[in-house]
Chains A and B, each alone.
Chain A
Amino acid sequence: MNWDVIVENLPLYLEGAKLTLILAFASLCISFFLAISLAFLRNSENAALRYTVMAYTLVFRGTPLLVQLFLIYFGLAQFSLVRESVLWPWLSSPMVCVIAAFVLNTTAYSTEIFAGGLRHIPVGEIEAARAYGMSGLVQARRILIPAMLTRSLPLYGNEMIMMLHATSLASTVTLLEVTGVARNITLNYYIQFEPYVTAAAIYLVLTFALVSAFQLVQRRWAGYLESRIG
């Protein structure tokens, strides 16, 4: 067993874990706000809006994240139009491409989750808000969004964990997050067991931390729903 190689490279693993967390949280934060807006559009009375959002979520949930990542990172760079545009300084960076791909992907899933939550709000709550004279925006802010979010918590929690795990794909486009560090070690030291087991252990710890934090949040904000869902 070559654990001394791992010990030597522990700083690299820690840097990798930092990058993993940055990628996951950046993507989740951006997509959170996008998904809330899109969830409303997804349930809009305007059929054109509804179908456009549905087409977007269908395409991005219907294709693998790996393909989406390669399309954005390698695919877009194929076109000189893209390379000469003002966006290029952004698009040439692997980090930006990775976050863009993750955001597009997780927003699609989150939109469907939130839209579902929105649909399950008891009509009574909405009618009461209207009776109180709340305008659309106020309704949304005070009633709809909180209710939508608390009802979406279990599924969204799952999605957050998926996002954390999806960061391992960033290793395929030169980013050195945890999986990338592990793959690099196998290529330079010719060992295959220790690097991947270490990576797995790190992910387990991160996931466990995220799940625990999430269960606390769920109990605090959505505890009132629990007795009903049973």
Chain B
Amino acid sequence: MVADYAAAILSAGSTTLLVAVLSLLVATFLGLTAAFAKLSASAGLRAVAGIYTFVVRGIPDLVIMLLVFYSLPALLNQWIEMLGWDFRVEFSPTAAGIATLGVIFGAYMTETFKTALQNIPRGQIEAAIAYGLTRRRMFTHIILPQLVRLALPGFTNNWLVLAKGTALVSLIGLQDVMFRAKGAAEATAMPFTFYLIAAGFYLAVTLVSMLLLFLVAHRFDVGTRKVLS
């Protein structure tokens, strides 16, 4: 019986990982956009990005998730009804989870990317402009490769926190590892066993991620001089 429940719990791992990876994509794009906004010349863009990171980092993840899953659709639908339109906004727990985690970690990624961008030697950007490289080219050939190397530690950290943050999505009904573990724990009155299995899953994800990202860091470190740490 424990084996059946355990199998069900671990098979939900694909849901957890799907949500985590999609959230990471959303977070990365949001983070890059907001980082450029924060470093832009326009005060308006800087303000918007500033408000975004301030608000998101000032509210607990769980509360943001409850807001996005419960409050946001309720509010939007009220307005839509008032406008007389005939459709509804609906978030499945999966979509709400991805949106929430993406938005939350986008704010943390913003800081990671912003610091990394600021650490690219200004001289290289000036040289690129002097050579007449288009902004596109400058981004792909000069900025991006270094951004990857400089942002990698922060990026890894954010990914690890995000992967564990997916456990919260179980609280709004997403049938992921944590949700199944809770169900099994309550049905069999063996909470320790099943939460331990869940913990094991997340630990495995953490270890594998750390290994993979270590290999990536190694690849991108080629060519840099190392100071004794």
Contacts and interface: CB of A to CB of B under 8 A. Distances in A.
Interface of A: 58-59, 61-68, 70-71, 74-79, 119, 161, 164-169, 171-172, 179, 182-183, 186, 192-193, 196-197, 199-200, 203-204, 207-208
Which among A61, A63, A204 has the greatest number of chain B C-beta atoms within 10 A? Answer: A63
A197 B66 CA distance: 10
B203 A59 contact: yes
A158 to B, nearest CB: 9
13 contacts: A59-B203, A62-B160, A64-B164, A64-B168, A70-B191, A74-B195, A78-B191, A119-B229, A168-B62, A168-B63, A183-B66, A193-B71, A203-B60
B59 A66 contact: no
Contacts of A165: 59-61
Given A67-B178, A78-B190, A172-B171, A179 B62 contact: yes
Nearest to B229: A119
B71 A74 contact: no
Given A67-B178, A165-B59, A207-B58, A182 B192 contact: no
A193 B74 contact: yes
Interface of B: 55, 57-64, 66-67, 70-71, 74-75, 160, 164-168, 170-171, 178, 181-182, 185, 189-193, 195-196, 198-199, 202-203, 206-207, 229
Contacts of A74: 185, 191-192, 195
Nearest to B170: A66
B165 A64 contact: yes
A99 to B, nearest CB: 17
B198 A67 contact: yes
A119 B229 CA distance: 9
Contact of A71 (B57, B67, B199): B199
